């Protein structure tokens, strides 16, 4: 199914990096809208397989672009499979990246499937994220990061 259904999702706010909390089926406390998530500099959206993380990030990318914002959607597993970072992007995302590099300012990076980066090995995840940070000249640039993952790979070692 490739049709997006806007469910007006709400996200649980976790302020401590605890694996046990990430795998909980329900998060107690505050629920955040997308607008609140995007106010932060770093966010990780955690959900089980087939819960719609990819569709949600792709749809948010289109919606933010329609508002005139610079947004790049990245399927993280593709970053490791290509020689160059830009080769892992589709045409719209590549154009957004080039526009951001030319004009500067703020960029929103929607990074999908942290769990699929090199089959969940810590070295593969770090390598893919290093390629991303180099491509975005981070931490020297103004990038807002939203990553998605299944909870299984978010171990203490990865979260450190």
Domain ranges across the chain: 30-153
d(CA 105, CA 90): 21
d(CA 143, CA 101): 12
Going by the DSSP 8-state scheme, the letter that residue 88 receives in this structure is G
Q: Which two tokens stand for residue 104?
A: 């500067």
d(CA 83, CA 14): 35
Q: What's residue 150's pLDDT?
A: 81
d(CA 118, CA 52): 21
d(CA 112, CA 46): 10
What is the percent of the chain with per-residue pLDDT over 70, rounded to a whole number? 72
- How many other C-beta atoms lie within 10 A of the C-beta of residue 1? 6
Residues 12-69 have pLDDT tens digits of 666 665 555 555 545 555 678 889 889 989 888 887 788 888 988 999 999 999 999 9
Contact between 157 and 19 (Cβ < 8 Å): no
CATH of domain 30-153: 3.40.50.300
């Amino acid at each position: 199914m490739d049709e997006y259904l806007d469910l007006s999702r709400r996200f649980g706010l976790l302020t401590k990096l605890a694996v046990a909390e990430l795998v909980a089926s329900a998060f107690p406390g505050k629920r955040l809208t997308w607008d609140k998530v995007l106010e932060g500099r770093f966010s990780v959206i955690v959900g089980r397989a087939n819960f719609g993380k990819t569709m949600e990030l792709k749809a948010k990318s289109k919606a933010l672009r329609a508002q005139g914002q610079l947004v790049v959607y990245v399927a993280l597993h593709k970053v490791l499979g290509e020689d160059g970072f830009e080769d892992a992007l589709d045409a719209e995302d590549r154009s957004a990246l080039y526009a951001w590099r030319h004009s500067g300012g703020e960029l929103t990076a929607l990074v999908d499937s942290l769990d699929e980066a090199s089959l969940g090995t810590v070295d593969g995840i770090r390598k893919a994220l290093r390629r991303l940070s180099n491509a975005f000249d981070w931490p020297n640039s103004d990038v807002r990061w939203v990553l998605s993952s299944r909870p299984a790979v978010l171990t203490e070692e990865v979260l450190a």
